[in-house]
Structure 1
């Protein structure tokens, strides 16, 4: 890989109150071709980006023009707030997993019906982002965020007193719908503050928190089940929701100024989404993100059965191995944000990450189909393969949002919706082998990497962007 010499000209949104250096014409984004009258921002296109100095700092760090005076500036507290918001989804799903058997017996239902509460939560999470993202582009980030997570609190508390499985299933969908506001708006807030390399660094920091959530949530849920019932899981989630709601209300100011907002109606929302998807460069990054992330879903859905029943790991060993793989993914995101970004272009890092996933998946296919490899051969390959998603996710997110500076909420909604929809469809494929073979998991990992890398190369053409 070669060092990146300069950022994409589409990166950055200049503050009109600051003294500007000579500018270069900005790259066109999918919203520059919007019809007249859509919104002031789309009529004029993005503000010119300042010329970046030569050197290793290949990004433009730009404070949000809409940040309130004295409001929260980028720093550790912002990372904590936004990271916790993005972690609400995995916490709400994974903390609940140890309670599934008790829910089944307590509500007098079947395991299939209880599993449906997870499916409806994921559906709500995907659909909620399609609403919260465009809404935050229209009225700003702060109000939809606070309303969304406040309703999440209500839905979560109601789950704790659900009298039957039907009510719990409906409330879990509502929990996903409302919790989606935190996930999608947190990404949009990052784009309001930063673009380019600086945004990729901040996304990597957020993934440190959201990546630890799937590791810690089942452990916390299991420990809670030692001292309380399944209802206590939802009480704990509600307490966390109260904490993040109060912290966001106290410290997180509006980051989207009025002049950059887009009027929202169904037709405008659909046109905006259509223009975003019609941009082949953005679509390539979006598909690379969705199918690259689906490798994590494939691993999570199949690893428990594969490692324990096919390769003989004990539950304790499996828990340790699962945590090590997850820590590898988190570690790669931190190396990406602290070491690689700024020295190498995001495009090169995405290609390398997807290439590693593809190579690891192909090696797993060979090991599972043609050899009798042991657990201690399979696990290191899995570790490298899944860890490589830490190079793909933050950089794809940055590139998608850079293509839509005036519709970051809508672009973030597309990221989140595609992520969970593709992941939920792919997960059952990886688990088709049951306790007999790991081959379906290996084939799924390989296939998803092929689709992701193919879409990136065919649509985004990253070699033209450094």
Structure 2
């Protein structure tokens, strides 16, 4: 594979993966305006975030078998088409219930892009390179939470929040065209894969029983739910509790994203000296210490705006290191049904994210303490799952053991 082709693939796969984060982050500065226009509360508006996470979680399980059965490009095309139509619906929405429903449909469409991009990484690159490829994708994806709320803040202030969803619709159209023209057919349709519910469920259970899968998918997903907790709580935390305006909030969110991006790129360098297992353990231990300190400071009322930003910055940096490695080790044992494995991994991650954001909508109102408590509990739980789960893994698969493990280039 030439360097030019390699970079082109990373960019287009990154764009597919970035569509979800843009859809999540870009409208966050408009929460107060949405609540006012739709005659509802900011807490109810945050339920549109929960419905998005539920939609993208459920959709992952739908697209996994479809991507393995029909190849990558057809389901991707249909999913992006659904996303474009739902985004257009959000432009003209007039009540909160319809908005929550449209966000669910928008998510079901967008997750075709997420699952397809992760599956294509497994198709196109050798197993040993997957953590490095995910780290590079993190660089492309990481720009989205930097750019999305900042752009969203300015668009919301100057043109209103409806315009945000028009921009998202246009992005969907551009990505659909680029994916159809540039991406190769990386996977031949497997007609032996049934789309009946029983074989699909049986296949998912078989994947779930693999010790390497359940250890790293659950440890990674529970740790990563800390990010969803932060995203869901951030409009309330910064705009309601610390009283910053929409534009300033966008810049704070962008600064926070630097943490995740920098750490995921540092991960690529550290992988030259350490293996993925060591990186995950080190990141989760560090995250546990940071979250416990964060909790102690929050309980004692010692956190102002800048101290809160600093603690969140450190917390998110740990996720930037653990996430590419947990994703790589979760998918490593699977060659034939990588689509289903990546879908199940995504569904677990986003399902827990939906649960975390739902908890934020209920508990986070006028104090940051519930947010910090959710983050601390999820981090400690992730570390325990990692330590206990590793006992059941006979030998961790990190590189291709034979030619069968490596897809034809």
Q: Please state which band the TM-score falls in when normalised by the shorter chain.
A: 0.7 to 0.9
Partner of 1:56: none
Partner of 2:219: 288
Instruction: Supply the distance in 2 between the matched residues of 1:87 and 1:121 (Cα, whole angstroms).
Output: 15
Which among 162, 173, 194 is matched to residue 242 of structure 1? 173
Instruction: Supply the distance in 1 between the matched residues of 2:86 and 2:251 (Cα, whole angstroms).
Output: 33
Partner of 1:453: 383
Which among 96, 112, 115 is matched to residue 27 of structure 2? 96
The alpha-carbon deviation at position 108 of structure 1 amounts to 4.9
Instruction: Supply the distance in 1 between the matched residues of 2:160 and 2:253 (Cα, whole angstroms).
Output: 25
The alpha-carbon deviation at position 348 of structure 1 amounts to 0.8
Give the superposed CA RMSD. 2.9
* Aligned pairs for 1:268-417 within 5 A: 268-306=199-237, 314-315=244-245, 319-337=250-268, 339-370=269-300, 372=302, 375-417=305-347
- TM-score, with normalisation over the residues of structure 2? 0.86
Q: 1:240-285: CA deviations, max 9, x gaps?
A: 1111111111111211134697343222210110011111221010
Partner of 2:348: 418
Partner of 2:9: 78
The alpha-carbon deviation at position 345 of structure 1 amounts to 0.8
Q: 1:270-318: CA deviations, max 9, x gaps?
A: 01100111112210101111111111122233345556777x5745766
> Structure 2 regions of 5+ residues with no counterpart?
399-409
User: How many residues align structurally?
Assistant: 394
More helix by share: 2
**Is 1:222 aligned to residue 139 of structure 2?**
no
Partner of 1:126: 57
The alpha-carbon deviation at position 375 of structure 1 amounts to 4.9
Q: State which structure, 1 or 2, has the greater radius of gyration over its C-alpha atoms.
A: 1
Whether the 8 Å CA contact 2:130–2:328 is kept in 1: the answer is: yes
- TM-score, with normalisation over the residues of structure 1? 0.76
Quick one: higher RCO (CA 8 Å, sep 6+), 1 or 2?
Answer: 2
Secondary structure of 1:75 counterpart = helix
Query: CA, structure 1 residues 383+261, in 2 after alignment: closer, same or farther (shift >3 Å)?
Result: farther
Instruction: Supply the distance in 2 between the matched residues of 1:107 and 1:446 (Cα, whole angstroms).
Output: 34
Instruction: Supply the distance in 2 between the matched residues of 1:171 and 1:410 (Cα, whole angstroms).
Output: 26
The alpha-carbon deviation at position 174 of structure 1 amounts to 1.2
